[in-house]
């Protein structure tokens, strides 16, 4: 078996593997090593951090070659520690510091070398299509609070998956988009909504609008599932 050092593995194996994905339109995507150096980005990601092209953004570091506009150095170190210890994917919500008022739901996956060491991370972000809860969640980020679920008086016991599905429904995601997030079929998500959430909230099945309206009225629009924020909350006193 051919041996690679970390950088050579990223450049010769990982970059060609994701080259076509990075060149798709309207995708927010990047790969970086564990020193934050960008190995590959999509054009949209490159533009969002101030570069004109994918090539221009390659091998650049935040805080050195361009201003930090997504996460702080401290947040990156928390993510790095999580990836090193858990070696598994996680999700988090972020807001950029460059005048972009959108919120993004990002999925981060570790890149493991053939010898089992963590050499980098792959990240893809999706704009959150917020509807009625936009002001609440924007206020959450403006105040730099990483979890506001404690402000919600939960009267309905939900599983972690049900919380995520409900959160995404309130945020404006369709059943198909939620299914894509979970990598499951749309029928599985519909079953969670109709047979679990609608029953627990005591609204008619097949009436997602009534479910969302009641959940918002009960304060569930203030709930951001802990799974989206767990990596950023680790060892941070914010």
User: Which residues share a beta bridge with 122?
Assistant: 31, 109
Provide mean pLDDT across the span 41-64.
93
Provide mean pLDDT across the span 89-113.
82
Distance CA 32, CA 207 (A): 43
Confidence category of residue 132, pLDDT binned at 50, 70, 90: very low
Between 34 and 234, whose confidence is greater? 34
Distance CA 121, CA 30 (A): 8
Between 227 and 37, whose confidence is greater? 37
Residue 232 has what pLDDT?
47
Whether pLDDT at 110 is above 70: yes
Starting at the edge strand that comes first in sequence, how are the strands of the sheet with 90-95 ordered?
Answer: 38-41, 28-33, 118-127, 103-112, 90-95
Residue 4 has what pLDDT?
58
Of all residues in the chain, the percent with pLDDT exceeding 90 is 38
Distance CA 93, CA 230 (A): 10
Closest CA to 137 of 162, 96, 102: 102
Distance CA 182, CA 105 (A): 13
What's the pTM?
0.59
Distance CA 78, CA 122 (A): 16
Whether pLDDT at 92 is above 50: yes
User: Which residues share a beta bridge with 78?
Assistant: none
Whether pLDDT at 148 is above 70: no
């Amino acid at each position: 078996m051919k041996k690679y050092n970390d950088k050579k593995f990223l450049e010769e194996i990982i970059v060609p593997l994701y080259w076509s994905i990075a060149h798709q339109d309207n995708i927010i995507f990047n790969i970086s090593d564990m020193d934050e150096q960008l190995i590959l980005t999509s054009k949209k990601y490159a533009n969002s951090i101030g570069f004109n092209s994918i090539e221009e953004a390659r091998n650049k570091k935040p805080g050195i070659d361009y201003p930090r506009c997504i996460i702080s150095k401290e947040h990156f170190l928390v993510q790095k520690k999580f990836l090193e210890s858990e070696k598994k994917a996680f999700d988090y919500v972020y807001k950029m510091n460059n005048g972009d008022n959108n919120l993004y739901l990002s999925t981060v996956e570790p890149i493991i070398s053939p010898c089992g060491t963590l050499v980098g991370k792959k990240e893809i972000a999706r704009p959150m299509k917020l509807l009625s809860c936009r002001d609440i969640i924007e206020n959450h980020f403006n105040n730099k609070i990483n979890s506001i679920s404690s402000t919600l008086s939960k009267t309905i016991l939900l599983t972690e998956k049900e919380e995520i599905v409900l959160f995404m429904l309130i945020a404006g995601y369709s059943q198909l988009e939620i299914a894509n997030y979970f990598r499951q079929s749309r029928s599985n998500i519909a079953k969670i909504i109709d047979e679990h959430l609608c029953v627990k909230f005591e609204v008619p099945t097949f009436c997602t609008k009534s479910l969302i309206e009641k959940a918002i009225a009960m304060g569930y629009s203030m709930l951001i599932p802990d799974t989206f924020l767990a990596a950023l909350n680790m060892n941070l006193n914010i």
